[in-house]
Structure 1
């Protein structure tokens, strides 16, 4: 494993343990060149999946599925919301598992976006609205109002259902 500090090609594993949700192995490494320590994560990848995105000129663009992009989007949506990192990791791992076990080698970016929205809806309503505002490209305040109103209506219905 290449050292992120000095780019030396060899490092030694000092400690390995599973993550809390058992979806990855966390390895503590030490560079044999500069002695710096760093952490890596090893995850299972069931298959190579290509994401189909809509390009600027209407032509579809294809790129490899990247878990990190989902992690960053979810982290941005939940920033300062007090959602436990473990819950975010479970959400992202669940989406990755859905994508990889769908049996398809290609998936539309919009389908992944809907999976993220579904997960955030259950996790935190403010994060859900934040993500939706970017994902659905809200351009005016009324777009927020209409969407937030729909979220409130769904929340009121589900809390009413719980009381019944």
Structure 2
């Protein structure tokens, strides 16, 4: 149950972060947004980590050294989501990101990549991802009558290509 609460909280925080990031991007640009998000996150995590773990925060024994570069992946995450939200709107962009994340996680699980324990690809898991993808298609088709300007007025106002 605790894992479910953490996962739901993550979804809440990610959706809020995406909206905040879109607003910062609108006023300051993509690289400023990325710098603020990751810089503030680094500072906060460092302070909280030091308070909670002290010097143990920096003990990375047994970890593959290249996993330490995951922060660089964060640049791609923030940049891609900011651009996706700007062009597609928050709900559609997050829906696609969730489906993509689930599909790739399932692929990596089934292959046992990146140090994961191999989990067999079962038809029910594949069906679940396909059902999620179908739900996104239904969601998108249901909003066909909406103009892009109504979805993202600020981007249209600025004359940006939102498609």
Q: TM-score, normalised by structure 1?
A: 0.30
Structure with bigger helix share is: 2
Structure with bigger strand share is: 1
